[in-house]
Amino acid sequence: MTQELHTYREIRQQPQVWVKAYDTILARKAEIQSFLHANFNEDYTIVLTGAGTSAYIGDALELALSKINRGVRAIATTDIITDPGIYFDSSSKVLLVSFARSGNSPESVGTVKAVEKAAGKVVHIFITCNENGELARMKGDNILTILLPPETNDLSLAMTSSYSTMLLVCSMIARIDHIEEDGDSIRQLSSCVKAAMDKYEDAIREIAGRDFTRAIFLGSGPLKGVAEESRLKLQELTDGAVMCTFDSFLGFRHGPKALVNPESLLVYLLSSNPDVQRYELDLIRQIKSNNNVKASIVICQQKPALEEECYDLCVEIGLKGVQDYYACVSHIFVGQLLGYYKSLATGLCPDSPSVSGNISRVVEGVKLYI
């Protein structure tokens, strides 16, 4: 059954799709460099935008790309549309990077128009999965369109391949002057995540079958953004039957920790930075000491110095020497598989889990006032 569902296939295909996307960007290196050199300089603010999952790409990359360019901001299309004047004025110079699976949601094209109207100068990079979408069909001298491999245009409701591949491709564009040397990192990412999927999938399925009604995803730095997307995957694939939240490890202490109860699943996305990890491990130990929960999962690059009684499952991915702007996406498959298997466990179809009809593959009913 699992092999026949789009959602499962789209989760499992990610490692091989990432390598295909890398080859696509490598082949377009000269074109991308030419566009950036002609249209972009340090006076421009880089704005990463999208709606829902596409916005969460920016939330992770705003921090992950900070070592490459400090002038990066993540602003959701759903925030820009309602009041563009909060963010832009006639003095604004903007490189707007738009993430869109279909490119057909009302906010995607609406944001392009709104920023063009509000800002002084705008350059666009469209990173999209659908060659037939409205966004992909927009043309202009100030537009660079990056089409991802067609299999990233997920057929299921939940964005999986599209999310991870758009995130990686944006990082590749930021690294375009050094893209050849990044091939080893992308291939290592692909092989390590595939191996981790193979090794831990059954254990993730077992935990998804446990009777939890809420889930909490915690991450630091870029991994907070990945925790945000992980939270959405489990919540939308269960049609809201499992209520989910996310936070940073330290932020969670300041009130949100009240959410932890015996019906909870805790998922810890550990940083590979040992200085950061000290704070993370302290919280994990505290929660173990003070709370009973249904299960705890630790996701890490290398197994931490943490007592085994503090978790039910440790997912060790094994990346070494891969920078955050690529490595942060390695954690996402756990939340995706949790959502997939919990959807099945609750009697839903992961490809179309919204029995309530509250969500759809492309958002409907948005009226734009531009």
State whether 92 and 144 are in the same domain. Answer: yes
State whether 92 and 139 are in the same domain. Answer: yes
Is 358 part of any domain? no
Is 359 part of any domain? no
pLDDT of residue 42: 87
Q: Where are the alpha helices (DSSP H) in 151-242?
A: 161-174, 183-208, 222-237
State whether 222 and 104 are in the same domain. Answer: no
- C-alpha 152/C-alpha 46 separation (Å) is 24
State whether 130 and 208 are in the same domain. Answer: no
Last residue of a domain, one of 148, 174, 200: 174
Per-residue pLDDT 10s for the chain (370 aa) are 444 699 999 999 999 999 999 999 999 999 999 999 999 988 999 999 999 999 999 999 999 998 777 789 999 999 999 999 999 999 999 999 999 998 888 888 899 999 999 999 999 999 999 999 999 999 999 999 999 999 999 999 899 999 999 999 999 999 999 999 999 999 999 999 999 999 999 999 999 999 999 999 999 999 999 999 999 999 999 999 999 999 999 999 999 999 999 999 999 999 999 999 999 999 999 999 999 999 999 999 999 999 999 999 999 999 999 999 999 999 999 999 999 999 999 999 999 988 876 665 566 666 766 6
pLDDT of residue 361: 54
Domain hosting 102: range is 2-174
State whether 37 and 99 are in the same domain. Answer: yes
Query: Could you give the number of structural domains in the chain?
Result: 2
> Strands (DSSP E) along the chain, which ranges?
45-49, 72-74, 93-100, 121-128, 143-147, 214-219, 243-247, 264-269, 295-300, 313-316
Last residue of a domain, one of 149, 174, 199: 174
State whether 127 and 81 are in the same domain. Answer: yes
Is 336 part of any domain? yes
Is the CB of residue 304 less than 8 Å from the CB of residue 281? yes
> Containing H/E element for 289?
helix 274-290
Is the CB of residue 118 less than 8 Å from the CB of residue 92? yes
End-to-end CA distance of the chain: 46
pLDDT of residue 2: 42
- C-alpha 325/C-alpha 25 separation (Å) is 16
pLDDT of residue 3: 45
Is 357 part of any domain? no
